[in-house]
Amino acid sequence: MPDMYAIRPCTKADTQSKDTSTPQYTPNIIPCKIHHDGAIDSLDRYWAPITHKPHISAAANFEVGALPFRTGIEYKRLILSIYPDLGVVATPTDRVLPSSQQVPNDDNEVVEVEPEEPVKILEINGTFEDLVVWGHEALPAADDTFVKGVEEWLQFAEAMHAAPAPANGKEAAV
């Protein structure tokens, strides 16, 4: 069974400074496999995004831009989220959330309690409001599997957190 996670703010000693704000990021989804996990001395040589024709389509919910990359021109689709701070950049830890199980103290009843599955803690390193999906030589299509998956996930999150519809069909008084 997959692990269960709880999201908590970062508690590292270096974040105890006066500036306690969470950094904002813009994740970039690039259609490639990178075989490097260290630092890059001259990042600007490989990664210098520019927008040729600034164009944001509110109806289509994306921004069109281009990137001159080593292997050719890459095109991007910016997916805008509906809620601020919807996305979280987090790091898994080995710490476990304390159990919240409570056993009744009645002497007359014998209660068998199943052990709870441990809930690991994810530390928040930053947040994001939108993300960028890049495509090779063309703008990622609206039916691109990753783009479609993220957009459906956003619609699902919106439906989950929306106010419930009244059962009798009438609008509820506020």
Annotated domain spans of the chain: 5-9+21-32+46-99+116-160
Residue 123 in contact with residue 88, Cβ under 8 Å? no
13-67 pLDDT, tens digit per residue, is 544 555 567 888 888 777 777 777 777 776 666 666 555 554 444 444 444 455 5
- Residue 107's identity, in one-letter code, is D
In this predicted structure, the answer to whether residue 91 has a pLDDT above a threshold of 80 is: yes
Query: Which CATH class name applies to 5-9+21-32+46-99+116-160?
Result: mainly beta
134-167 pLDDT, tens digit per residue, is 776 667 777 778 778 877 887 887 788 778 777 7
Report the pLDDT value the prediction gives residue 64, as an integer from 0 to 100.
47
Report the pLDDT value the prediction gives residue 71, as an integer from 0 to 100.
47
- Range among 26-30, 53-57, 81-85, 120-124 with highest mean pLDDT value: 120-124
**Measured in whole angstroms, how far is the alpha carbon of residue 8 from the centre of its chain?**
14
Q: Of 88, 101, 81, 82, whose CA–CA distance to 6 is shortest?
A: 88
In this predicted structure, the answer to whether residue 6 has a pLDDT above a threshold of 60 is: yes
Instruction: Name the pTM for this structure.
Output: 0.53
What is the DSSP code string of the chain? -PPEEEEEE---GGG-SS--PPPB---EE-SS-----S--S-HHHH---EEEEEEEETTTTEEEEEEEETTEEEEEEEEEPSSTT-EEEEEEEEEEPPP-------SS-----PPPPPEEEEEEEEEESEEEEEEESSPPPTT-HHHHHHHHHHHHHHHHHSPPPPTTSSPPP-
